[in-house]
A and B are shown apart, each in its own frame.
Chain A
Amino acid sequence: MSTAATRRRTSDTRVGRPHVVWALPGVLFFAFFAVVPMALAFYLSFTTWDGLGDPRPVGLANWHRLLDDPRMTQSLWLTVLLTAASWAFQTVVALLLGVWAAGPQRNRAVLSAIFFVPLLLSSTAVALLFYALLDPNFGIVQKDILGSSSGAFLAIVFVGGWQFIPFHTLIYQGGARQIPQVLYQAAAIDGAGRYRQFFSITLPQLRNTVITSTVLIVVGSLTYFETVLILTKGGPGTDTAILPYLMYEAGFKSYDFGYASAIASFLVLAATGLSLLLVRLSGFGAMRSTREGM
Chain B
Amino acid sequence: MGSTTSSAGGRTFSRRRLLGAGATTLLTTGLPGLTACGSGGGAGGDGGTITAFVYGDDAVKVQQAAVERFNKSAAAKEAGGTVKLEKVPGSDYSPKLRTAMGSPSAPDVFFNWGGGSIRAYEEAGKLVDLTDTIENDPVLKDGFLPSVLAAGDLKGRHYGIPMRGMQPVILFYNKSVFAEHKLRPPTTWDQLLDLNAKLKKANITPFALGGSDIWPELMWLEYLVDRIGGPEVFRRIQDGDAQGWGDPAVLRAAEMVKELVDDGAFGDKFTSVSYVNGGAPAVFAKGRAAMHLMGSWEYSTQLGKFPDFAEQHLGWAAFPEIEGGTGDVRNVVGNPTNYWSVNSRTRNKDLAIAFLKEAASEAYARDLIDLGDVPTTSNAAQLLDSAPNPEYARFQYDMVEKAPAFTLSWDQALGELGTPMHTEIGKLFAGKSSPAEFVAACKELK
Contact = CB atoms under 8 A, between A and B. Distances in A.
B21 to A, nearest CB: 5
Contacts of B211: 147
Contact of B272 (A52, A128, A144, A225): A144
A237 B433 contact: yes
B240 to A, nearest CB: 15
Interface in B13-48: 19-21, 23-24, 26-27, 30-34
A146 B24 CA distance: 22
B80 interface: no
Interface stretch (A11-19, A134-142, A181-189, A266-274): A134-142
B272 A145 contact: yes
Contact of B212 (A124, A146, A251, A253): A146
Contact of A144 (B32, B269, B433): B269
Interface stretch (A21-29, A60-68, A106-114, A227-235): A227-235
Interface in B233-264: none
The prevalent SS among residues of B at the interface is: helix
Interface string A236-276: 11110000000011011111110000000000000000000
Given A40-B31, A132-B277, A137-B279, A147 B430 contact: yes
Contacts of A147: 211-212, 269-273, 430
Given A254-B419, A255-B120, A37 B31 contact: yes
B272 A237 contact: no
A163 B441 CA distance: 37
Interface in A150-199: 152
A50 B272 contact: no
Interface stretch (B129-137, B223-231, B420-428): B420-428
B1 interface: no
B416 A50 contact: yes
Interface in A196-210: none
Given A37-B34, A138-B282, A51 B271 contact: no
Interface footprint category on B: 35 or more
A131 interface: yes
Contacts of B381: none
Interface stretch (B93-101, B314-322, B367-375, B399-407): B93-101
B24 A51 contact: no
B100 to A, nearest CB: 10
A238 B27 contact: no
Nearest to B21: A124
A53 B23 contact: no
A252 B26 contact: yes
B427 to A, nearest CB: 4
A52 B98 contact: yes
A254 B116 CA distance: 12
A256 B26 CA distance: 15
Given A138-B282, A235-B212, A230 B432 contact: no
Contacts of B33: 40
11 contacts: A40-B31, A124-B24, A137-B269, A137-B283, A142-B269, A144-B269, A236-B432, A251-B30, A252-B27, A255-B98, A256-B416
Given A53-B102, A134-B272, A136-B273, 6 more contacts: A124-B24, A137-B269, A225-B23, A235-B430, A252-B19, A252-B23
Top 6 A-B pairs, shortest CB-CB distance: A147-B271, A147-B272, A237-B432, A146-B272, A136-B269, A237-B427
Interface of A: 37, 40, 44, 50-53, 124, 128, 131-132, 134-138, 142-148, 152, 225-226, 229-230, 232-239, 248-249, 251-257
